[in-house]
Amino acid sequence: MSTTRIRTIAQLSAAAKEYDFNPSLHLKYWIRSASAVLRQAHVYDDEKAYSDAYVLYLRYAQLVLESLHTHPEARRPHERTHLLKLDKELNKVLERLQQLKPILEQQLEEFQQHELQTQIRRDQLASQRSSSNVGHEQQVDIDLRGLGVKDHPELQSKEDQLRQRQEELWHNELLQQQRRQEEVQRQSQSPPPYAPIELPPPPPQVPRRPDTAHIIMEHKSRAANEAGASLRTVFLPNQLRASFLDLALPNTRRKLETCGILCGILNRNAFFITHLVIPDQESTSDTCATKDEETLFNFLDQNDLFTLGWIHTHPTQTCFLSSVDLHTQNSYQLMLPEAIAVVCAPMHEPSWGIFRLTDPPGIKAITDCRQPGTFHPHSQANIYTDAKMPPGHVSSRDGLPFQLIDLRPK
């Protein structure tokens, strides 16, 4: 979601509504999704990416106020308790939205003023070049159209050089006119009254760009889903898979699946998988289901971690997403579009893969399906795709640190 342009409040509000609330999905997943949205908003707010923060704060408010309480499961005592926790955060969120609004309006005003000044200056420079033979002024090659000049010292240097050179030219022209006037006075026997020198107007200052460094994110989104929406990069430690396979080996030998939860942080518009959490679970040769999700969620909340996907083994099958896996992946991806599924099939080739549901048609097809938890065919093609970079959004890197946390009973 990284913001590379300034948007109006109306545009930001429209972006906040770009999600589909489907009450057929269990409320617990929507509650986790709202929590993830709020956590992302806090991260962007801390990084001064105020446009992204505003969109996510507003999305959280809309989820809590307009959607979650209308869910068919909202009256259940357990879900009601979690909804009340979300409600408690709502006043803070609404207050922060009011604080951010004038900040964003000021940013937009400064941006529009800068764009106007830049265009005026560009037109003036073009006019000067057409009417002047000052060659060295043509040697300055600077792009005044971009933003984030603080991140590019060479552009800042050229801009300063251009400003300094224009001032020198103006002062030189002033001195030349003064000398011509003095020469006229010396040659005249009766020098005329001192005439005021008509000075050329000082050159318009090259407008400095507004400080937009806080919205120039370090990690650019390089991938997109099938609808064209950008997907933030997910960095996956290469060593994580080997550690998981070692832990899963006893189950693999007994032909039982093992699953783990991929968790991490959001930093400079990219996700980093920093924890592999093994929840309490029950397994068969072709299924794996988590137990005691409350303990898992408490761990994630206490450590301020995002759920970035899951990893599981196929001890007897090939590397693919089964129909049951598709429904599991859908629950993760509805919470976070970048969430991934890592499948390890140590007895087959390829022995592993990284996948996500397509959007569209995969997410809608699985969300609308009424057979979760059972093996069944799906008539739609292209339901899921490879997520490895390129062209996907997952980058596997050596040397990235991570922790393995085993929450299973000893």
Q: Domain extents for the chain?
A: 9-110, 223-406
Helices 27-46 and 293-302: crossing angle, nearest 10°? 10
Question: Can you give the pLDDT at residue 214?
Answer: 44
Higher pLDDT, 74 or 187: 74
Cα dihedral 245, 246, 252, 254, rounded to 10, equals -170
Q: What is the pLDDT of residues 330-348, one digit of tens each?
A: 999 988 999 999 999 999 9
Name the residue with tokens 């919470």: 335
Lowest mean pLDDT among 6-20, 33-47, 362-376: 362-376
How much is the average pLDDT of 175-197?
Answer: 53
| Residue whose structure tokens are 């929406």 | 229
Whose tokens are 């959607």? That residue is 67
Cα-Cα-Cα-Cα dihedral sign, residues 36, 309, 263, 232: negative
Give the pLDDT of residue 215: 42
Mean pLDDT (the chain) is 84
Convert the pLDDT of each residue in 213-243 to its tens digit: 444 456 888 899 999 999 999 999 999 999 9
Whether the predicted pLDDT of 2 surpasses 50: no
User: What confidence score (pLDDT) does residue 283 get?
Assistant: 95
The larger pLDDT score, comparing residue 321 to residue 198, is at: 321
Task: Give pLDDT, residue 160.
Answer: 55
Closest by Cα among 244, 221, 293 to 31: 293
Asked if residue 150 has pLDDT above 60, the reply is no
Q: Give the pairing type, strands 223-224 and 230-231.
A: antiparallel
Q: What is the pLDDT of residue 265?
A: 97
Tell me if domain 9-110 and domain 223-406 are identical in fold.
no
Alpha-carbon distance of 47 to 3, in angstroms, equals: 12
**Radius of gyration of the chain from Cα atoms?**
30
Structure confidence at residue 372 as a pLDDT band (50, 70, 90): confident
Strands 270-278 and 259-267, by their bridges, are antiparallel
3-state class (DSSP) for residue 73:
coil
CA angle 214, 219, 225 (to 5 degrees): 115
User: What distances in angstroms separate CA 47 from CA 117, 214, 218, 339, 366, one per listed residue?
Assistant: 28, 7, 11, 22, 35
Q: What dihedral angle (degrees, nearest 10) is formed by the CA atoms of 315, 316, 317, 319?
A: 30
Residue 284: pLDDT over 50: yes
Q: How far, in Å, CA of 400 to CA of 270, rounded?
A: 14
Specify the pLDDT at position 16. 94
Higher pLDDT, 118 or 177: 118
Contacts 24+ apart (CB under 8 A), 177-185: none
Both tokens assigned to 148: 């984030």
Q: Are 37 and 59 in contact (CB under 8 A)?
A: yes
Provide the pLDDT confidence category of residue 122 given band limits of 50, 70 and 90: confident
Antiparallel, parallel or unpaired: β 270-278 and 234-237: parallel
Domain 223-406 superfamily per CATH: Cytidine Deaminase, domain 2 (3.40.140.10)
70: left (phi over 0), alpha (psi -120 to 50) or beta: alpha
Give CA–CA dist 58/402, Å, rounded. Answer: 32
The answer to pTM > 0.85 is no
Q: What is the separation of C-alpha 343 from the centre of its chain, rounded to a whole number of angstroms?
A: 25
Pairwise CA distance, residues 389 & 396, whole Å? 8
Bridge partners of 273, per DSSP, are 264
Q: Does domain 9-110 have CATH number 3.40.50.300?
A: no
189 has pLDDT over 90: no
